[in-house]
Every structure is written in C-alpha cells, then in structure tokens.
C-alpha cells in the first residue's frame, strides 16, 4: 500500500508535519518520502526547513559557520530557563563554545564514566529489587514509570552530588523543567508550577554551589568549580547552567533509550532470546536501537547567512531542523536501513548523538547507564516482556523526543 492510499484510508497527512499527532506516532514513512523527493523541505506553518538526508544532516551539524546553535536553548525552555543570564554550551557557537566544552569534557571522559559503573549498577539493582519486593516473583509493572524514568535521574543526582534526602523534590523539578518544552500547550496553572519549580531548582543549585565551593567533594559540581584549562575556570553562573544542561540532556534521553530498546525486543523475540542468553549482545542491541529509532529525533539550528543546502536556497535567519531519525535510515549509508539488525557492522557514524562540535558529551555515560540497567534486569528477571504488541505502543506526544509514554511489562524473577 502506498503512503497516499494509506493516508486516504486513515486520514494521515499527505506530507510531513511534525506537529501532527499521527506523524508523531510514526514519522518514518514521511522521512522516507522526503529523502526520496525533497531532502530539504520547507514547512510553512513552522517557518522551518526540515533536512532529511544523511548528507544534509551531516552538513548542518558540522558547518557551524552557516548553521548556528544559538536559538536552541531559548526555543526549548523559553522564559523557564533557570539560569537565563548565560547560555549553556549547547546553545553557543565555536569558538566560544570550546571554552566550556574543554572544561566539561574533563568530567565525562571514559575513565570518569567507568568509575561510576558500580554506583549505576547499585542504583539499578535497588530499583529492580524494589519491584520484586512490591509485586512478588511474578507480575506486572510499568517499564517506563517504575523503572526507566527513575533510574537515570537517580544516577545524575549521584553524579552531581545531590544529597539523598533532596532527591524526591529534585525529580519533580526536573520533570517540570523538561515539561517547559511543551509550554505552548499549557494553561496558566501548569505554567505557574513550572515557574515555581524552575526557581526552586535554581535556588537548590545555588546552595549546592556554595557548599561545594567551601568544601569540594567527589562529585560533578565540585569538578566543574575546580576544573581549569589553560588557566580558565567556569564562572558560578556557568556551573549552574551546566548542571541544568546535564539534567535536560541526560535524564529523559536515557529513559527513552531504555524504553525504545524494550519495544524493539518485543518486536523481535529472536533477538530477545539471544540477548537474554548472552549479555555481551547488549551493547550492539543498544547501538542498533539508537540508530533505528533515535530518542532525539531532530535538532535545531538557524542560518547565519543566505545558504544553499542540497540544492535548496535557505535565506539568512531561518530555522533549520536536521532530522536525525531520518538520516539514520538513509539507504545510501546503511544497507537494509529499515531492518533492525543487531549484527550490523558499523557502516557510517550514526546521527543519534549528533555530529560536529556539539557531539553529545554524555554518550559514554548514556551507553554505560543503559548497558548496566539491562545487565541487571536480565540477570535478575528470567522474563520481562511488554504486554502490548510493539505496534500498539503509544509514543510520547513530542516530535523532538522519542520514547514510549508508558510500557506495562509482564515479568518473572529468577
């Protein structure tokens, strides 16, 4: 069946509209159409140019002289940015961006991440044991709400140095801050709540900064306060903004990676059986999930000058949306790109963590967290399987973030 006959039967839009409910549930057929016939597509209702091919996305992410990141943060958080005085590095262009990047890199090197593995394992184990204690040796729980949404936020609390007794409050603030991305859809009551929690988060980081400045500990806030590259350090506001960026960048993304992985396991029982039997297949499983159904579907840039991309002229100052989810399915880079294949050999670097100067700083941490979580789950649980068919999963109501909104699973402990 062609997309247009499907569209006629189910009232799907004929062309890509990221705001459309049904497109959000499954954008991939639209990406394929664009790659084939319109690699750079102007979306008049968003006044944005969507970029669908691998080549186009790669160019946008690497060519920071033509495509700026400066609008990224203001678009995401708007007036709810807890630290509006300074931009985070994700919203800065080189060369200024390099100053913060070099300082922050120190905290995310593979050796630092490896040192966190035992704590991540202890946190995942505590969560799974909590579920077995609550539901018994066999039963049902929600993979998203009772496991994956709690795990990365707890790891990041640990990493940042948030005291255990403040973690419940902290989770509420983080959830609300992430909600600010959908602020245009909210009424005054919800917006007032987000304002309050954004202020409380700021206040909390201010206090933590003061404590760690006086008495540095083995945590990330202390590392940021003391980190020095070529005699330069981070200002107080830069540290506060960096902490906020890590929350936005590192919490929901890892949650969604674990959600998307479980959906693929439901879709492929053969792969599920192989991974259960051989945990060394967890890393390739995660890599293929990241490629096939990336949790960050797109990024945001704007043109610094009149530009041409894949033969399309884009005027200065226009918003550009490189579609990572589409680039990862580009058949010119990946053989059988629409097939989920954990035995795939690296063909081209995937776009899921971005490319170029802003390449995800937390990629090692995210991969370690997700691997450890699945190792713990598969070791403790003999079976864990979503109840709904993979095709019935309800995805988040977002065109930016990809992950199941909820995922009830049946489990049996060993």
Q: Which residue has the tokens 């979503």?
A: 386
Binding flag, residue 299, ligand HEM (CB under 6 A): yes
User: How would you class 70 by CB atoms within 10 Å of its CB: exposed for 0-12, middle for 13-18, buried for 19 or more?
Assistant: middle
CA distances from 266 to 200, 272, 385, 388, 389 (A): 40, 7, 7, 9, 7
Distance CA 256, CA 272 (A): 18
Cβ–Cβ < 8 Å for 50, 208: no
101 vs 266 by CB, closer to ligand HEM: 101
Binding flag, residue 257, ligand HEM (CB under 6 A): yes
CB atoms within 10 A of CB 23: 19
The mark string for 142-171 relative to ligand HEM (x by CB under 6 A, - otherwise) is --------------x---------------
User: How far does CA 131 lie from the centroid of its chain?
Assistant: 25
Q: Which of 87, 354, 386, 403 binds ligand HEM (CB under 6 A)?
A: 354
Q: Which of 241, 253, 297, 328 binds ligand HEM (CB under 6 A)?
A: 253
Q: Smallest distance from the beta carbon of 361 to ligand HEM, in angstroms?
A: 4
Q: Smallest distance from the beta carbon of 240 to ligand HEM, in angstroms?
A: 14
Interface with ligand HEM (CB under 6 A), residue total 26
Q: Which residue has the tokens 């200024």?
A: 96
Q: Smallest distance from the beta carbon of 358 to ligand HEM, in angstroms?
A: 3
Q: Which residue has the tokens 């003061």?
A: 210
Segment near ligand HEM (CB under 6 A), from 193-201, 209-217, 223-231, 359-367?
359-367
Binding flag, residue 353, ligand HEM (CB under 6 A): yes
User: How far does CA 285 lie from the centroid of its chain?
Assistant: 17
Q: Which of 35, 101, 202, 268 binds ligand HEM (CB under 6 A)?
A: 101
Torsion sign across C-alpha atoms 292, 3, 397, 405: negative
CA distances from 319 to 35, 60, 72, 188, 346 (A): 19, 11, 10, 28, 31
33 vs 201 by CB, closer to ligand HEM: 201
Segment near ligand HEM (CB under 6 A), from 11-19, 40-48, 244-252, 404-412?
244-252
Distance CA 226, CA 233 (A): 7
Segment near ligand HEM (CB under 6 A), from 15-23, 35-43, 175-183, 357-365?
357-365
Binding flag, residue 409, ligand HEM (CB under 6 A): no
User: How would you class 270 by CB atoms within 10 Å of its CB: exposed for 0-12, middle for 13-18, buried for 19 or more?
Assistant: exposed
Q: Torsion over CA of 61, 66, 67 and 70, rounded to 10 degrees? A: 130
Segment near ligand HEM (CB under 6 A), from 51-59, 277-285, 291-299, 374-382?
291-299
12 vs 361 by CB, closer to ligand HEM: 361
- Which residue's Cβ has the minimum distance to ligand HEM? 362
Contacting residues toward ligand HEM, per CB under 6 A: 61, 69, 72, 89-90, 101, 156, 245-246, 249-250, 253-254, 257, 295-296, 299, 352-354, 358, 360-362, 365-366
């Amino acid at each position: 069946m062609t997309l247009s006959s499907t569209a006629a039967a189910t009232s799907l839009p004929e062309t890509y509209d990221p705001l459309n409910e049904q497109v959000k549930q499954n954008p991939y057929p639209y990406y394929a159409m664009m790659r084939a016939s319109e690699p750079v597509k102007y979306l008049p209702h968003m006044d944005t140019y969507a970029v669908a091919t691998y080549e186009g996305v790669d160019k946008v992410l690497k060519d920071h002289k033509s495509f700026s990141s400066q609008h990224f943060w203001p678009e995401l958080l708007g007036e709810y940015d807890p630290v509006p005085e300074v931009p985070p590095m994700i919203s800065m262009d080189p060369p200024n961006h390099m100053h913060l990047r070099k300082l922050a890199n120190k905290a995310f090197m593979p050796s630092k991440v490896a040192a966190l593995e035992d704590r991540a394992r202890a946190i995942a184990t505590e969560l799974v044991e909590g579920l077995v204690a609550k539901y018994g040796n066999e039963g049902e729980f929600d993979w998203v709400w009772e496991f994956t949404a709690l795990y990365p936020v707890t790891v990041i609390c640990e990493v940042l140095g948030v005291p255990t007794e403040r973690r419940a409050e902290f989770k509420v603030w983080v959830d609300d801050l992430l909600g600010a991305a959908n602020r245009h859809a909210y009424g005054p009551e919800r917006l007032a709540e987000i304002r309050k929690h954004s202020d409380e988060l700021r206040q909390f980081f201010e206090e933590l900064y003061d404590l760690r400045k006086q008495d540095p500990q083995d945590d990330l806030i202390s590392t940021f306060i003391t980190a020095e590259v070529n005699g330069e350090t981070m200002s107080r506001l830069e540290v506060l903004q960096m902490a906020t960026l890590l929350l936005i960048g590192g919490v929901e993304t890892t949650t969604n990676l674990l959600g998307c992985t479980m959906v693929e396991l439901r879709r492929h029982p053969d792969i599920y059986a192989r991974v259960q039997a051989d945990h060394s297949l967890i890393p390739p499983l995660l890599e293929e999930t990241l490629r096939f159904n990336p949790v960050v579907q797109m990024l945001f840039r704007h043109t610094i000058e009149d530009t041409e991309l894949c033969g399309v002229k884009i005027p200065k100052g226009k918003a550009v949306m490189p579609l990572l989810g589409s680039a990862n399915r580009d058949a010119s880079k990946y053989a059988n790109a629409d097939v989920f294949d954990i035995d795939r050999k690296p063909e081209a670097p995937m776009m899921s963590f971005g490319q170029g100067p802003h390449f995800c700083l937390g990629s090692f941490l995210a991969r370690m967290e997700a691997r450890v979580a699945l190792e713990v789950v598969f070791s403790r649980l003999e079976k864990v399987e979503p109840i709904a068919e993979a095709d019935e999963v309800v995805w988040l109501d977002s065109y930016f973030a990809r992950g199941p909104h909820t995922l009830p699973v049946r489990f049996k402990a060993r």
